[in-house]
Amino acid sequence: MAVVLEMAAAGVTYRFISYPGARHSSTNPDADQYAKQFKMPSSYSAEADRASRKELQRFFAEIFR
């Protein structure tokens, strides 16, 4: 994955989290409707939404101690 290689080459500290099966707009509950309407390859994933929200809360707790 290009972004992983770019971050490693830059020598920065980062955390990459992948949600298998999640597509673009996976945290937008309206994604399925828009995907149909505009023929876009996106969809909502309740599982990815919950997991990413939990990770965001963990991240905020870490940096805003």
What is the rounded CA–CA span in Å between residue 26 and residue 19? 9
Flag whether 43 is in a domain: yes
Flag whether 44 is in a domain: yes
- Over residues 4-25, the pLDDT tens digits come to 899 999 999 888 899 999 998 8
Total structural domains within the chain: 1
Specify the amino acid at residue 21: G
Flag whether 39 is in a domain: yes
Helix extents (H) in 1-65: 2-10, 31-38, 46-63
Flag whether 3 is in a domain: no
What is the rounded CA–CA span in Å between residue 48 and residue 19? 6
Flag whether 18 is in a domain: yes
- Over residues 18-45, the pLDDT tens digits come to 999 999 889 999 999 999 999 999 999 9
pLDDT at 1: 73
Whether the pTM exceeds 0.85: the reply is no
Note down the domain range covering 58. Answer: 14-63
